[in-house]
């Protein structure tokens, strides 16, 4: 049997006793705490750990890892619980390690435009700290996720089309390995040719290779001017044509978000807006006053050529915040379309030239479903999301959702895209990893076995069983 598959995990009891000696009340076996840590924002069932540890330093995380390693007990890193592919369920029991107690911003350098934070710091917390420095951290997945969690899933979000994903904005990591060893993967230099790129090995590893406890991040200067707009389109094809033409024109747009007609209805009801119930693009431009004006005028002209209209501009910060809060509320807004539903989410990413075709075909897939569905996404980089609102008591609806999800994923792969642009693999996308990477999965497995030979780190996630 592969070392990645369970080798016979030990009982959690002895590990819990040992952890209680070093953590005291910061180790919990309370049912409510365990259940809270047994699910994320996905529709996967709750699978609680045997206990939850709340370390407050890298040294304490290392101590937890050593104890769990000694007793062969699984470990599941936990941030804010906002993942959507079943990342945190304790499939084999074990200890959930909640890193939210590690919430310190350790250093900010305005001269070097970087900072070092602990894993539990959230993106909103970091930007609040940076408010008076003239700098900001741009990666914005919507949820107020922890930086450690964002590194683990290689998050991106609304600003990725201009500022990149977490992969482009991380300089170095402090990582606790499965046996309690602590390593640092790099320094603060903006480039290096020294050895293997361990920083990006752990970025996107979803807690399966080690605990990320500290992160050094790139920061960016606040733009001189910012302008945001919302534009209505007659259909999704017209909106996506505008996106493609904007990218091809070299416009450095900061955000380009597509929301379909039903999603706009949900936002109107949830956020008390009054947009037409039609596909919309949410746009934002960063730069100089003149640059922002020129960019916005060009995109408005491109949109008009594609039937876009009803441009609504937001130049004041309060207006922009309200606009983007409505976009970030898309997920809870959609859920209100069918109260009590079980949301089934998926995301794919394709080359920008294939985006319109992929969304068009996806829309045809969704027409076969009897339940409400919405499409939204970060279309400036070819990434879009589908939300299917299932009856939690209907196995038939869930089966239909899974069938449509597979069709969407396989189509993206045929278009030389990826099965997930930013959600990650978790449990939900394991079946598609071989289809996307082939023999590359065996290399991933070799790395996993080298760093975690007992298979203790977040078992059952990312890697499929050996065929």
* DSSP reduced 3-state for 212: strand
375 close to 381: Cβ distance less than 8 angstroms:
no
Structure confidence at residue 142 (pLDDT): 82
Please state which architecture CATH assigns to domain 105-221.
2-Layer Sandwich (3.30)
CB atoms within 10 A of CB 364: 9
Burial of 242 (0-12, 13-18, 19+ CB in 10 A): buried
Which residue(s) pair with 21 in the sheet? none
User: Per CATH, which fold does 225-332 belong to?
Assistant: Alpha-Beta Plaits (3.30.70)
Q: Which helix (H) or strand (E) holds 302?
A: helix 289-305
- Residue 391's nearest CA partner among 378, 404, 400, 380 is 400
What's the pLDDT score for residue 1? 33
pLDDT tens-place string over residues 293-304:
899 999 999 999
Of 267, 293, 297, whose CA–CA distance to 280 is shortest? 267
pLDDT at 2: 38
Supply the Cα-derived Rg of the chain in whole angstroms. Answer: 22
List, for residues 224-274, the tens digit of each pLDDT value.
999 999 999 999 999 999 999 999 998 889 999 999 999 999 999 999 999
Q: Give every strand in the sheet of 280-287, ordered side by side.
A: 309-314, 225-232, 280-287, 253-259, 373-378, 383-390, 342-349
Q: Are 40 and 32 in contact (CB under 8 A)?
A: no
DSSP line for 141-202: -SS--BHHHHHHTT---TTHHHH--HHHHEEEEEEE-TTS-EEE---S-S---SSS-HHHHH
Q: Is it true that 225-332 and 338-429 share their CATH fold?
A: yes
- Under CATH, which number does the domain 338-429 receive? 3.30.70.2740
Domains of the chain by residue range: 105-221, 225-332, 338-429
Q: Could you say which residues of the chain have pLDDT below 70?
A: 1-7, 466-467
Q: Which helix (H) or strand (E) holds 389?
A: strand 383-390
Beta pairing partners, 141: none
User: 367 exposed, middle or buried (CB, 10 Å; 0-12, 13-18, 19+)?
Assistant: exposed
- Read off the pLDDT of residues 317-329 as tens digits, 9 standing for 90 and up: 888 888 898 898 9
Q: Which long-range contacts (CB under 8 A, 24 or more apart) does 398-402 make?
A: 398/342, 398/344, 400/368, 400/369, 400/370, 400/371, 401/344, 401/369, 401/371, 402/344
């Amino acid at each position: 049997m592969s070392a990645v598959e369970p080798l016979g995990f030990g009982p959690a009891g002895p590990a819990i006793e040992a952890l209680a000696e070093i953590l005291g009340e910061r180790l919990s076996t309370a049912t409510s705490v365990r259940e809270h840590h047994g699910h994320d924002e996905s529709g996967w069932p709750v699978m609680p750990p045997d206990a939850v540890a709340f370390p407050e330093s890298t040294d304490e995380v290392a101590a937890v890892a050593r104890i769990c390693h000694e007793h062969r007990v699984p470990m599941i890193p936990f941030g804010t619980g906002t993942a959507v592919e079943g990342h945190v369920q304790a499939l084999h029991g074990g200890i959930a390690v909640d890193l939210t107690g590690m919430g310190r911003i350790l250093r900010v350098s305005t001269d070097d435009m970087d900072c070092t934070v602990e894993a539990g710091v959230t993106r909103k917390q970091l930007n609040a700290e940076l408010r008076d420095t003239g700098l900001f951290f741009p990666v914005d997945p919507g949820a107020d996720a922890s930086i450690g969690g964002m590194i683990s899933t290689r998050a991106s979000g609304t600003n990725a089309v201009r500022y990149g994903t977490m992969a482009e904005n991380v300089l170095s990591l402090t990582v606790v390995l499965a046996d309690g060893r602590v390593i640092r993967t790099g320094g603060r230099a903006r480039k290096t040719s020294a050895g293997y790129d361990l920083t990006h090995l752990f970025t996107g590893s979803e807690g399966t290779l080690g605990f990320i406890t500290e992160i050094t991040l790139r920061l960016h200067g606040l733009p001189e001017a910012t302008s945001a707009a919302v534009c209505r389109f007659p259909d999704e094809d017209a909106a996506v044509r505008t996106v493609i033409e904007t990218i091809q024109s070299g416009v450095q747009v900061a955000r380009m978000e597509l929301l379909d007609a039903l999603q706009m209805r949900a936002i109107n009801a949830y956020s008390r807006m009054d947009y037409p119930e039609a596909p919309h693009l949410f746009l934002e431009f960063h730069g100089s006053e003149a640059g922002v004006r020129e960019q916005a005028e060009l995109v408005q002209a491109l949109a008009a050529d594609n039937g876009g209209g009803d441009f609504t501009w937001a130049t004041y910060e309060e207006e922009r915040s309200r606009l983007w809060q409505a976009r970030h509320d898309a997920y809870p807004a959609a859920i209100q379309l069918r109260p009590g539903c079980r949301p089934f989410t998926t995301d794919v990413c394709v080359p920008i030239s294939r985006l319109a075709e992929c969304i068009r075909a996806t829309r045809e897939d969704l027409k076969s479903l009897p339940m409400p569905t919405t499409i939204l996404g970060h279309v400036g980089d070819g990434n879009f999301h589908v939300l299917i609102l299932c009856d939690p008591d209907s196995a038939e609806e869930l089966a239909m959702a899974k069938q449509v999800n597979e069709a969407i994923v396989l189509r993206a792969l045929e278009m030389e895209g990826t099965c997930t642009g930013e959600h990650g693999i978790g449990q939900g996308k394991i079946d598609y990893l071989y289809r996307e990477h082939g023999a590359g999965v065996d290399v991933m497995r070799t790395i996993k076995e080298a760093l975690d030979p007992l298979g203790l780190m977040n078992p059952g996630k990312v890697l499929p069983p050996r065929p």
